[in-house]
Structure formats: C-alpha cells, structure tokens
Amino acid sequence: MEENRTEILVTGGAGFIGSHLIEQLLENNYKVTIVDNFDVFYSKEIKLKNISGVINNPYLKVIDIDILNTADLYARLTDQYEVIVHLAAKAGVRPSIEDPIAYQDVNVKGSQNMLEFARHKNIKQFIFASSSSVYGTNKNFPWKESDVALNPISPYASTKISGELLGHVYSHLFGIRFIALRFFTVFGPRQRPDLAIHQFSKKILNGEAINFFGNGSTRRDYTYVADTVQGIFNAIQYTRTPFEVFNLGNHHTISLSEMIHTLETVFNKRAIIKHLPEQMGDVPITYADISKAEQLLNYVPKTNFKQGITKFKNWLETQ
C-alpha cells in the first residue's frame, strides 16, 4: 500500500531555487509535481541537470507546461495537490527593461492563472516567490514587510508587487492562504548563469574582465540557497493567518567591491576589472529585516557569504 504523502505542485521547479526545494521536499516524504516550460532564458540542459539527482524518484513528476496555457494546466495537472509553490517567472531586473510586456504576461497573468487553478482545484495553500526588488528605492533600511512605501524601479519589480496584490485578493475572496516570500539575492550551487556571482566566478577563472558597474558601493543582502529553501519549506507548513508577506534575506549586506574581493580570496585568483557606469533599474542597496520570518516561520539563515561562495566554488569546479 502506497504511503500517504502530501502532494505539492512546484512551478519553475527545475530552476535554481526550485531544484533545491524539490530535493528537500522529496527527502521529507512529499510527492512533488514540477511544472516547468524550460524557458529559453537559459539552457534547458542546465535545468535538466539541476534535477538529474532526483529525476528517477517515484514520487516526482516533471511536466513541461507553460503557465500561460490554461487548457494544458487543467488537462494535464490532474492529481490532488494540497499546496502550490509558485516559483515560475521571467527573471531578472535588466532583461525586464528590454521586454516589459513579456514580463507582465508571464509574471502577472501567469500568477493569476495559477491562483485560478488553485481556486478551481480547491488548493488552500499558495506560496509565491516575490522579490526584494519590490522595495526599490525605499530608504528605510533595513526593509520591513510592514513598510508600505514600495518604490519599484523595474518592470520585474512591478510584476512581483502585482503578484502579491493578486494573492491578497484571492486570499480574501476565495479562502486561499497566500504566503509571499521576498527573496534577497539568492546564491549558491546551480545559480543561474546570468547572475553576477556565477558570471564573475567564471570570468575570474578564465582570466576575463569583469564588468564593474558604478563605484563598487552598491550593496546586496546575499542569501545562501539552502537558507532560502528552508524558509520556503517552513512557509509550506504555515497556517496561522490567511495572508502574509515575509522577507527571506540574510540581514547582512555585502558591497560589490567586497563581493569581488571574496571571490578573489576563495578562488585564489585576482579579478580583472572593467569599470562601467551604473545600470538602469539597479537599486543602491538591498537589506532585509528578517525578524518577522524569524518569529513566524522559524527562519534562521545559517550560511555566511564566504561559506556560501566556497560551496558555490566547489560545485562550479564539478561542472
């Protein structure tokens, strides 16, 4: 007799964060269905490699569906899901400036499609991947979820705010518990190849110049992927209130100059720097107040920046 396992639907589950999450879910006796359209933003082969360690697990299904295709969603997702973790999105601040309509379609309409799916399938727990970018140029550091002064400066950021607001509507009208998790610059093994740490690491190893935007003073609240995944995992269990927003950061900022110095130290190689002006859409600092997540999600980041970079280096050397 098959053991009774809670089934979770994870959109974008073959991506960087999603692949780590599904491993943890399977280790903790969940059934998992991945919905992923293997968007060409980066290689399908990378995503398939992300999930290669669990692809033969009998409690995992991988279904290639675009969340904009509602007919496919209803025709092919026929199991009894108890939770949706919605990670699928068009990612990246800078690309969203080039193609804002596509970001609006996937990130807003796609999120609404998944909320409608939850409503029609009577799925009562919905976890939404939001972003620190929603705070934009808010100068009230560290950023608190209770601060309503959201000042987004990219189309990507605006789509994440829209997703949170849609969640509030569906929570209020249809009784879906909606948990928005604002991720802060997640890094670690399997990080997307377009992201700075991954790009810079490869350029240092190959002796190529790094594009260094601005004066190096911009700061990011880097969060190691295992800490982010633990926050998502705890949010899946959360039942106290019908709607919440949580910061999942590290409550510690690292400047661009410090980040490159740490890479140089861990990789034991000097970086070649190409100085360029600041880029549109980039905020000067991201900095999370995580006290709410600590209190309500038992969220405690455990990996500091240098430790995380060392783990990333160890992974990169195996690729």
Q: Which of 113, 41, 106, 35 is nearest to 70 (CA)?
A: 113
Q: Are strands 209-213 and 272-276 parallel, antiparallel or unpaired?
A: parallel
156 is catalytic: yes
Q: Which of 91, 47, 39, 86 is nearest to 65 (CA)?
A: 39
Alpha carbon distance 185, 222 (integer Å)? 5
The CA-atom distances, in angstroms, between 230 and each of 17, 18, 234 are: 11, 12, 6
Alpha carbon distance 14, 73 (integer Å)? 17
Provide CB contacts within 8 A for 27, sequence distance 6+: none
DSSP 249: -
The CA-atom distances, in angstroms, between 216 and each of 209, 260, 261, 274, 289 are: 15, 9, 11, 12, 23
The separation between the first and the last C-alpha atoms of the chain, rounded to the nearest angstrom, is 40
Please give the backbone phi and psi of residue 34, each rounded to the nearest 5 degrees, phi first: -90, 130
Are 156 and 93 contacting, i.e. CB atoms less than 8 angstroms apart?
A: yes
Are 181 and 231 contacting, i.e. CB atoms less than 8 angstroms apart?
A: yes
Q: Strand, coil or helix: what is 35?
A: strand
Q: Strand, coil or helix: what is 283?
A: coil
| Catalytically annotated residue among 30, 81, 103, 156 | 156
Strand spans (E) along 56-135: 60-63, 83-86, 125-131
What are the structure tokens assigned to 148, written together? 């309503």
Task: Report, as residue numbers or ranges, the catalytic residues.
Answer: 156
